[in-house]
Structure 1
Amino acid sequence: MTSSTPRRTVLAAALAAAGTAATAAPAVAAVPDRAARRPGADPASAGDAGRGHAPAPGLVDNRFWASYTDWRCGSAAGTRAVAGHRPGLVLAAPAGRTDYTDPHTGRTSAWEYAVWTSPEHTPTVPAAEVIASWNAHTPPGTWLQVELSGTYTDATATPWYVLGRWASGDGDIRRTSVDDQTDGRSTVWTDTFAIDDTASGLRLASYRLRLTLYRAPGSGLTPTVWRIGAMASDIPDRFTVPASGPGLARELAVPRYSQNTHVGQYPEYDNGGEAWCSPTSSQMIVEYWGRRPSAEDLDWVNPAFADPQVCHAARFTFDHQYEGCGNWPFNAAYAATYPDMNAVVTRLRSLTELESLVRAGIPAITSQSFLKEELTGAGYGTSGHLMTVIGFTADGDIIANDPASPSNEAVRRVYRRREWENIWLRTKRYDANGKVRSGTGGVCYVYWPHRPSPTQRRALQDLGLA
């Protein structure tokens, strides 16, 4: 059973073998028109203080810029901070003009642009991996690019790496990651910056994010960015993780959608529903928070298809370079296109942290890989799959809305705590042939409204997310 398109997760051996040719992509350079596939991935078988940052002792550090004060920090060339109930960053006066040739359409267009660069951030943990995420609105005629540059622990610098070229629509540019970015010491794997040889001890000591806003020349339009930041982490290699004790019994009323009811629909988006675990999960959480696409938004979907909003989510999370809907930041960015929604990609260090979110009424979307026999009751194995954790039983077992189900009614599953905990938090695993593969090490998406309840805000602040 195929439950997901193959995901890129960090595998040190694959990184070391990935090559050492340095390529630093210019701001709007064309990229090779081929799908990014992580070497070694198995095919699918089914230092700042302030708002937005709280120290996470060991392993994981989150830093997000989202306040009016945040947007006035760093350096700006043509951008402007705007106040209001949801502060943001806009393109005020173009800093320049450039041509961009879209590698997926071959179309060359001229664009005005402005640039904001974050202050340098020193994570509480020197990082083996960094995953950025952003929340923005890009009206037609606009788009944005996110980049990262940093300093290694040996005081040398990385190039500027492109972490995404993104628009909420798909009429101006094709939403895309960028392949073949490496300096021989670190590499960008679709949506993840990773140190090539973690055994060497090299890590990323600090980083900056660069945000470039684009608009059609003379249009006066602007993207609006409400949040940008990154999760930096250094998760040790591990095939197993310590068992935790149950601490919560609660179940959230999250809508249930099956990806498999969409098999064969819109195959241009990663072969149809069989690979839509990520957008299906994202749509469940968007609707849990009371948001959904309008009837006008769904006009393009065949009216014979049930749950057209799942097709909509697949289309607008699709990464044309990766050729899939499983780009982590693109899913978060999609969720945040709905009114007053925040969304980030992060890692949690334990099942206890996930319980704290659920206790506060916040479900989370988790990424995991496993053999069929490793997760009792799943009925499939996968090299990368997203599911939505909506609660815990009195015994501490996981209640998940698993989109790899035959129907919406069958989506709710209960998985054994110890099995699920291990497959989600480990970084190493064995495939069906006994080869060592990678695990995601606790990656998850967290989505929440701009004005959460006090309990929800405390839970998010404890994780450095709000």
Structure 2
Amino acid sequence: MSRAEQPSRRTLLAAAVTAAVAGGAGPVLSAGGAFAAPAPAPARPIDHRSWTTYTDWRGGAAQGTRAVAGLRPGLVIDAPAGTTDYTDPHTGTTARWEYATWTSPVHRLSVPATEVIASWNARTPAGTWLQTELRGTYSDGTDTPWYVMGRWAAGDQDIKRTSVDGQTDGRSTIWTDTFSIDTPASGLRLVSYRLRLTLYRRPGLTATPKVWRIGAMGSDIPDRFTVPASTPGLARELTVPRYSQEIHKGQYPEYDNGGEAWCSPTSSQMIIEYWGGRLTPEQLAWVDPSYADPQVCHAARYTYDHQYGGCGNWPFNAAYAATFPDLQGVVTRLASLTELETLIAAGIPAITSQSFLKTELTGAGYGTSGHLMTVIGFTADGDVIANDPASPSDAAVRRVYLRREWENIWLRTKRYNASGKVVSGTGGVCYLYFPARPTPRQRAALAAVGVS
């Protein structure tokens, strides 16, 4: 679980969802007995846009950066645009850095959004790091400030990767990794945005960050305590490694003390290894050799957000996954279990975020204000097969949860907590990790859920 029963920014987000996307409907009979075309499906309330191609990187506004071609096109420092000092708020150390920037073209959202979450995939050699920012335009024509969405490095020796608290203009706020309209009921929405990358390196260094993917998911999902039930459409189970977060309780207090706080990195490591990602003995040498599953400890360290004080920063987990060869990761929302079935059918598991009371999910045995688990399949009855890291041992991680219960706790945006207070749900948030070069079937499944 993610800092389980503590008030967190996850409970403050005005997340939302609709199960608008279901399987294609067939023809139906009209009142007169003739066949009529089915009503058009409602538009997805989710917009995901990523920049990943050589053409994409050449299309932005560059100051000191250069697009590079190849099997995995990306963005690097060419000639630095200047130098700047950065004081790390978590160490107090001030250092000078060369920097270069790239700003995306304006992306007009297909659905004016109440929330936006950015994510990125990059390599940052020693002596380098990057910053991601977002600036948007409201539906009244005014602009947001440039908001920092993350300061990130794959390692932790140069800077401490961090979100930036306290960013607001009185109408929107950054909650760790999420842009959120403060009062969605006012009708104010974000209609477009640009993303800005700033790449940093120590002066005189020839190494450079390389960014392969940057993008954002915008959504406007109506508040709801329940969602419509979907019809089961798939029976398949993927073979995904099973790791328990609970066996790490009390380990590494500097990374939020293991146990229930490590649901996100534990889930991430399961899917990374499903795709063949492995850590070397050299990479794991820092872990206490008496600890089981040292790769989970490693994932916690390298997803840890020093401002948030935990490992549950969604984009930091996706970025960690993409540090493994031939993997990429995004943070998005799905609109229904049907969409999740589409991914599983193509061999793509998903990490989902949800919150619930102990009585709301049969067989879980716990309640949580925020928890990540890995969905690996569906039974013949349509129930959800999950690798749930909130289990007492690796052997106990595989769970089967009732479809209707699980669907509702994942997709709803409003719920009652144990005190009877109305709090938010995550509204279908998930991380998707998949190959850098997906198969045609995988590519089609990703496109069906709005990811390219």
Equivalent residues in 2 for 1:54-73 (5 A)? 57-73=43-59
- 8 Å CA contact 2:339–2:448 kept in 1: the answer is no
Matched AA of 1:319: D
- Of 325, 348, 352, the match for 1:366: 352
- Of 111, 116, 124, the match for 2:97: 111
- Partners of 1:461 and 1:119 lie apart in 2 by 21
Match of 1:8 in 2: 9
Give the superposition deviation at 1:5. Answer: 7.5
Give the superposition deviation at 1:221. Answer: 1.5
Equivalent residues in 2 for 1:317-332 (5 A)? 317-332=303-318
- Partners of 1:82 and 1:266 lie apart in 2 by 39
Equivalent residues in 2 for 1:72-111 (5 A)? 72-111=58-97
Equivalent residues in 2 for 1:171-210 (5 A)? 171-210=157-196
Matched AA of 2:159: I
Match of 1:306 in 2: 292
Aligned-partner SS, 1:268:
helix
Aligned-partner SS, 2:279:
coil
TM-score (norm 1): 0.90
- 8 Å CA contact 1:282–1:331 kept in 2: the answer is yes
Change over 3 Å in CA distance of 1:257–1:185 after alignment to 2 = same
- 8 Å CA contact 1:347–1:442 kept in 2: the answer is yes
Match of 1:295 in 2: 281
Equivalent residues in 2 for 1:240-255 (5 A)? 240-255=226-241
Identity of aligned residues (%): 76
Q: Does 1:125 align with 2:126?
A: no
Match of 1:454 in 2: 440
Q: Does 1:225 align with 2:226?
A: no
Q: Does 1:407 align with 2:408?
A: no
Matched AA of 2:335: R
- Partners of 1:266 and 1:444 lie apart in 2 by 26
Give the superposition deviation at 1:267. Answer: 1.2
- 8 Å CA contact 1:12–1:198 kept in 2: the answer is no
- Of 337, 344, 347, the match for 2:333: 347
Aligned-partner SS, 2:355:
strand
Change over 3 Å in CA distance of 1:67–1:2 after alignment to 2 = closer
Match of 1:258 in 2: 244
Aligned-partner SS, 2:62:
strand
Change over 3 Å in CA distance of 1:12–1:332 after alignment to 2 = closer
Q: Does 1:420 align with 2:406?
A: yes
- Partners of 1:254 and 1:367 lie apart in 2 by 18
Change over 3 Å in CA distance of 1:5–1:333 after alignment to 2 = farther
Match of 1:376 in 2: 362
Give the superposition deviation at 1:361. Answer: 0.3
- 8 Å CA contact 1:301–1:308 kept in 2: the answer is yes
Give the superposition deviation at 1:274. Answer: 2.4
TM-score (norm 2): 0.92
- Runs of 4+ residues over 2 Å off in structure 1: 1-14
Matched AA of 1:8: R
- 8 Å CA contact 2:13–2:180 kept in 1: the answer is no
Structure 1, unpaired ranges of 5+: 15-55
- 8 Å CA contact 1:259–1:404 kept in 2: the answer is yes
- Of 372, 375, 380, the match for 1:386: 372
Give the superposition deviation at 1:273. Answer: 2.5
- Partners of 2:2 and 2:379 lie apart in 1 by 28
Change over 3 Å in CA distance of 1:427–1:113 after alignment to 2 = same
Give the superposition deviation at 1:58. Answer: 2.9
- Partners of 1:198 and 1:363 lie apart in 2 by 32
Change over 3 Å in CA distance of 1:380–1:3 after alignment to 2 = farther
- Partners of 2:171 and 2:123 lie apart in 1 by 34
- Partners of 1:214 and 1:364 lie apart in 2 by 32
Aligned-partner SS, 1:461:
helix
Q: Which 10-residue stretch deviates more, 4-13 or 270-279?
A: 4-13
Give the superposition deviation at 1:8. Answer: 2.6
Give the superposition deviation at 1:2. Answer: 8.0
- Alignment length (residue pairs): 426
Give the superposition deviation at 1:353. Answer: 0.2
Matched AA of 1:85: L
- 8 Å CA contact 1:12–1:197 kept in 2: the answer is no
Give the superposition deviation at 1:370. Answer: 0.1
Give the superposition deviation at 1:294. Answer: 1.0
Alpha-carbon deviations, 1:298-344, whole Å to 9, x = none?
Answer: 01001111100000000000000000000000000000000011100
- 8 Å CA contact 1:5–1:275 kept in 2: the answer is no
Alpha-carbon deviations, 1:146-184, whole Å to 9, x = none?
Answer: 000010000000000000000000000000000000000
Aligned-partner SS, 1:182:
coil
Give the superposition deviation at 1:454. Answer: 1.3
Match of 2:270 in 1: 284
Equivalent residues in 2 for 1:150-165 (5 A)? 150-165=136-151
- Partners of 1:72 and 1:4 lie apart in 2 by 43
- 8 Å CA contact 2:14–2:180 kept in 1: the answer is no
- 8 Å CA contact 1:427–1:438 kept in 2: the answer is yes
- 8 Å CA contact 2:46–2:217 kept in 1: the answer is yes
Aligned-partner SS, 2:255:
coil
Alpha-carbon deviations, 1:198-236, whole Å to 9, x = none?
Answer: 000000010000000000001111000000000000010
- Partners of 1:236 and 1:277 lie apart in 2 by 27
- 8 Å CA contact 1:4–1:276 kept in 2: the answer is no
Alpha-carbon deviations, 1:17-59, whole Å to 9, x = none?
Answer: xxxxxxxxxxxxxxxxxxxxxxxxxxxxxxxxxxxxxxx9331
- Partners of 1:397 and 1:106 lie apart in 2 by 50
